[in-house]
Amino acid sequence: MDNVGEALKSVIKYELNAEQEKKLIIREYRALLRSLKPKLKPGDKELVRLAFEMSADAHKTMRRKSGEPYITHPIAVARICVEEIGLGVRSTICSLLHDTVEDTDITLADIEKAFGPEIARIVDGLTKIANVMDVSASQQAENFKKILLTLTDDPRVILIKLADRLHNMRTLDSMKRETQLKISSETVYVYAPLAHRMGLYTIKTEMEDLAMKYLEPERYREIARKLAETKRERSRYINEFIRPIREKLERGEFDFDIYGRPKSIHSIWNKMLNKGVEFEEVYDLFAIRVILNSPPEREKEDCWKVYSFITDEYPPAPERLRDWLSNPKSNGYEALHTTVMGPQGKWVEVQIRTRRMNEIAEKGLAAHWKYKEGGGDESRFDKWFQQIREALSGPDNDSIDFLQDFKTSFLTDEIYVYTPKGDVKMLPVDSSALDFAFAIHSAVGSQCIGAKVNHKLAPISHKLRSGDQVEIITSGKQKPSEDWLNLVVTAKARKQIKDALKDEKRKVADEGKYTVQRKLEHFGAAFNQHNIEVLTAYYKLPSPLDLYYQVAIKNIDLKELLEFQLLGDKIEAPKPLKIVAPEQKTEAPAARKDAELIVFGESSERIVYNLANCCKPIPGDDVFGFVTTGKGLTIHRTNCPNAAKLMANFGHRVVKTKWVKNKEISFLTGLKIIGLDDVGVIHKITNLISGELRININAMTIEAKEGLFHGNVRIYVHDKEELDVLVDRLKKLPGIETVDRYDAETVE
């Protein structure tokens, strides 16, 4: 009887849960409809309901890792699209259906039948993206190309994907640690820059903050805590700063909003890193925003008037003026930014824009991409899409570098550079004179030998700045060379240089091809595909073209053909001699008496591994394992400069990793110390490290200049805990300003 009672209880409990879940789903769906209400036309509500029912039915047995019914995810994505990106009915339908083709029995044909070809095409684009990040690098780059072609065809694909990624980031807590690292790295590497490029600043900022929460948890919590602690003090300061400006704007009869908003945790952390300062020294923890309600014909005039009111009250830093009214960014962003000296000697950033500009800043592409529902200024995005189409049109399938090229060419901020006739060219930040030459024409780029930048001679490698006027100098004798690839950032320039090098290589390779043919026939073998493939594989080269080229430049001597076996007219590569090694000595870990053990996954196996030179991890650091070809497992810090790229591009080779405590072995790491050049300061430092804390010093260099000393100390520590104690103690020494762990590559 008891068993029956228990079973009855669990059935009732399940029914209650199912009932609660049903209410939750209906509540979320109604909230979506409320958001969508202003955009609904006759018949739209029925289509949205059909998409919701199709998706709910297809996902009815599925749950998210958090335990929630899966349908809550498509509804949440649709709400982000409508409420935060400003998309409409068709995008809502696509959002509700975005996972169905990949995860359920619904096919594209079913979607096309119910909703038509346009929605089917967008869902198809979203399905392709879903598979992008979980394959080999070259396949991934190929898939990414397909996505970008879809983007240039219909940008809603990328906007919905960004909404999908944002919701995944918001619900990442229930995922495994390695999944959190992989998804966060991908987000910060590709999706946040893409959101920025689409003008979705709020989404980009939230993505970066959420990624940092998982990639740098300690730093994230520390900055969040300090922001919370200083909130009241900041609010008081903002009110004091705003008061006189508000009075002036009211006297000028402006219709406006003015408020302060804190900078994101990620941007504060970036400032701390780039400027080498502590949280307390980051001056612009917030920005003041003035939003004007101005008619279109008076927008610029009103923004400049407000600028003059602000700079009358507070002195500006002239070099910090950013005028995106005269030259909007290519993602449509328009505003005036300035930094002024506020009360108590604090620098404050002020952003001035109108309501229209603010909508474009918040909703980006969607705000002035009206799809087939009306005009909109599309020209800047059109230019950008056209550049992407050109970059994608090349036949080059060797595309492992493609993602990196795409990031540097299309996802960074841009500069404006002028031709001698005053035409403006938009280029990515860090573009060189050579990039500019290729932007004018491929023939100009290929023959470029230098430039005149603002009427002064400059080399082709000269980095351009916004406002430069550039004249390119060419010569008919000039030809692109391999090192040019290091001087350019634009995809167009890289592609043209690679094409020119390939043509050159082909000409040289023709001689090598003739040599290979002669040698093979002399040896009694045929010059055929099989034999060429055997030779290419033997010399570990990627293609026959490379084989011919290496032969032509005499890097390969075909006398070795005598060692090959001849089977009729076919050749077989010589078999490598098997060397039976004496008892093999394993690498470091075995010789280290379990000292440096690392636990992988749930088991505690001992695995041969090495520590990455780029970031020199020590026990206690947040780390991950990366399976490298030929080297086995390499351990990187999660904040290593290469981490985001590795985890985003090769997620399938990332291994969950954590340290096991031990005190038997020391690890080499380094500290950079800056302080006042005082008598005995070096003695104090060495006495603390070697004397009091008994830490071995490997090397030490001290350089004193103009009253400051810069010291680099390399030391052996057991773990991060020991290093943190040392850093803390060093900071407390009188006269010491900053103590920082070395940047990656400085430790040899």
**Gap between the Cα atoms of 489 and 409, Å rounded:** 6
Rounded CA gap, 39 and 414, in Å?
34
- The crossing angle, in degrees rounded to 10, of helices 89-97 and 44-58 is 10
Is 503 an annotated catalytic residue? no
Mapped onto helix, strand or coil, the DSSP state of residue 542 is coil
Find how far residue 384's CA is from the centre of its chain. 19
Between CA 359 and CA 334 the distance in angstroms is 10
For the beta carbon of residue 127, count every other beta carbon within 10 angstroms: 17
If you ran DSSP here, which 8-state letter would residue 603 be given?
Answer: B
* φ and ψ at residue 622, rounded to 5 degrees: -75, 115
Q: Is 103 one of the catalytic residues?
A: yes
How far from chain centre, in Å, is Cα 399?
Answer: 18
DSSP, collapsed to helix, strand or coil, labels residue 323 as: strand
* Tokens encoding 537: 């594989």
* Annotated active-site residue in 83, 102, 178, 378: 102
Q: Which residues contact 611 (CB under 8 A, 6 or more apart)?
A: 617, 634, 635, 667
Q: Select from 330, 325, 322 the least CA-distant residue to 428.
A: 330
* 3-state class (DSSP) for residue 719: coil
**Which residues of 316-423 form beta strands (DSSP E)?**
322-323, 336-341, 347-354, 414-418
Measure the CA–CA gap between 126 and 128, rounded to whole angstroms.
Answer: 5
**Cα separation of 243 and 249, whole Å?**
10
Which entry of 28, 68, 83, 103 is annotated as an active-site residue?
103
What is residue 376's three-state secondary structure? coil
Catalytic residue set = 102-103
